Structure 1
Amino acid sequence: MSLHLLALDASSSACSVALLRQNGADRECLARYEMTPRAHTRRLMPMVDELLAEAQITPATLDAIAFGQGPGSFTGLRIATGTAQGLAFGLDRPLLGVSTLKALALQAHRRFHFRYIVTALDARMGEIYAATWHCLNDSVSLEQAEAVLAPEAFSLPEDETDWVGVGSGFTLWERFAATVQVRMSQHLVDMEPRAEEMAWLGADDLAAGLGQPAHLAQPVYLRNNVAWKKPA
């Protein structure tokens, strides 16, 4: 099986693109990542062009497009969604929306081998976007559903697991309940979602038949979904 999948993300202060190339069982990923506050519109497509030039391929070679669908910056999500839709529509390729929180969990697992991860992004207005994950061998399973809520309202599953927190939401660490803090061995605030992990997750979703037509792509804001519950 041969695959060229482009992923892009603008959900945070960072802007990133990645190209996953697969030939049979072999996979490699080329990536670009820049901290570009308020410059996503100006940098996203040039980064795509630079990456394709490095790979020495044209857009027509791409088999699918993945993008960070949220949660995250409202403006950044709209930019990423619109750019991904334009590429997918123009090329007539399937589109895959990837959770920014899931991509962040995979990044933490691959970089530090963490297994039980809380991902939290700063949602502004005194709230966080958060979810919990179990990671094993590059596989990421959702434990508690993604939600937007105040740090004080966040809770962990009732078990004996030690958790690690990653993401900008932990700049509000002092507002998390003491019962949560005591069960988290560490928290890393400087990790942002990256297109590289979205490419890996997008490839798996594509293989599972989850690609969609471009017009069906939607950002995930979570602002109207305030419940914190374990998925069925």
Structure 2
Amino acid sequence: MNADFRRPTLAVDTSTSYLSLALSAGGETRLCHLEAGNKQSELILPQIRALFAEADITAADLGAVVYAQGPGAFTGLRIGAGVAQGLAAPFAVPLVGVPCLDAAAHLVPGRSGVLAAIDARMGEVFYAWFDTANHRRLSAYQVGKAAEITLPEGAEFSDGIGNAFALSEPPPFAGKPDMPTAADYLNLAQTGRYPAVGAAQAGLLYVRDKIALTAAEQAARKATS
């Protein structure tokens, strides 16, 4: 299955507290990027309908739907992927999943050692290392304490990017807390480096198996902090 980026393309990112949508159609990219908190499920379809109306298209006109694949906020990711699948399935529109850390890393292009790090809550961050000059990932996607992040063997640090750098305990490297919008996911998908699949095959990238601490685990964490 191939994405047709010559046709209108919708990108959806609900991996954080922001609802971010981008629609490329008619030579123009329209962006919706707003703080949604826990109202993403209420806002996402009306905002998509508004973008479609502005561009005078429907879901049947889409050549691809791009979505944030994770890691990120568990509920938000499921909302975004579910809406993407719902729009794509009736018309056999291809879906392109772009990992969230990849989208963050490529905000810093042309560098050999980029640390992308995103707040994972529970005192941890999601992170991976990238060579954005050669479009390579240098490490696995990981989750852990920011202070424990180390350089991959043989790599040299260039830049850090992601909202983990705004935390009170950020990674032990210099970095900017910038985060990608849906337009960045759209641009990255259009490079063709990420596979297109049918709606039934679209999946999410989970790095953490556990999504919440038990009451006992929370009490133990507080006792040692």
TM range (shorter): 0.7 to 0.9
Question: CA-to-partner distance for each residue in 1:159-187, whole Å, 9 max, x for gaps?
Answer: 573422121222346464xxxx3xx4x32
- Which residue of the partner structure matches residue 31 of structure 1? 31
The within-5 A match list for 1:42-191 is: 42-109=42-109, 116-136=113-133, 140-159=135-154, 161-172=156-167, 174=169, 176=171, 181=172, 184=173, 186-189=174-177, 191=178
- The structure where strand makes up a greater share of residues is 1
Residue segments in structure 1 that go unaligned for 5+ positions in a row: 226-232
Q: Which residue of structure 2 aligns with residue 228 of structure 1?
A: none
Q: Distance in 2 between matches of 1:151 and 1:121?
A: 10
Alignment partners' CA distance in 1, 2:157 and 2:194: 34
2:20 maps to 16
Give the corresponding residue for 1:230: none
Which stretch of the first structure deviates more once superposed, 45-54 or 80-89?
Answer: 45-54
**Which secondary structure state, in structure 2, belongs to the residue aligned with residue 72 of structure 1?**
coil
Runs of 4+ residues over 4 Å off in structure 1: none
> Contact (CA 8 Å) 1:6, 1:65: kept in 2 or not?
yes
Structure 2 stretches lacking a partner, 5+ long: 211-225
- State percent identity of aligned pairs: 33
- Return closer, same or farther for 1:32/1:123 CA change in 2, 3 Å cut-off: same
Supply the distance in 1 between the matched residues of 2:155 and 2:113 (Cα, whole angstroms).
11
Aligned residues: 206
Q: Secondary structure at the match of 2:116?
A: strand
In structure 2, what residue type is equivalent to 1:144? S
- How big is the shift at 1:108? 3.9
Shift in Å, 1:21? 4.1
Relative to structure 1, the CA distance from residue 134 to residue 51 in structure 2 (aligned partners, 3 Å threshold; closer, same or farther) is same
Which residue type is aligned with residue 214 of structure 1?
A
| Amino acid of the structure 1 residue aligned with 2:162 | G
Q: What is the TM-score with the length of structure 2 in the denominator?
A: 0.81
C-alpha displacement of 1:75: 0.4
Supply the distance in 2 between the matched residues of 1:30 and 1:54 (Cα, whole angstroms): 9
Equivalent-residue separation in structure 2 for 1:160 and 1:116 (angstroms): 6
Task: For 1:155 and 1:224, locate their aligned partners in 2 and report how far apart those are by CA, in whole Å.
Answer: 22
Q: Does 1:219 align with 2:204?
A: yes
Confirm or deny: 8 A CA contact 1:5 1:203 kept in the other structure: no
Structure 2 CA distance for aligned equivalents of residues 98 and 175 of structure 1: 24
Deviates more, 1:100-109 or 1:74-83: 100-109
Cα deviation code 1:35-94 (max 9, x no counterpart): 111111111112211222222222211111110010000000110111011011122111
Once the two structures are superposed, residues 128-149 of structure 1 have per-residue CA deviations (whole angstroms, 9 ceiling, x without a partner) of 100112223xx73212221112
Give the whole-Å Cα distance in 1 for the aligned partners of 2:24 and 2:9: 5
2:219 alignment partner in structure 1: none
Instruction: Report which stretch shifted further, 6-15 or 157-166.
Output: 157-166
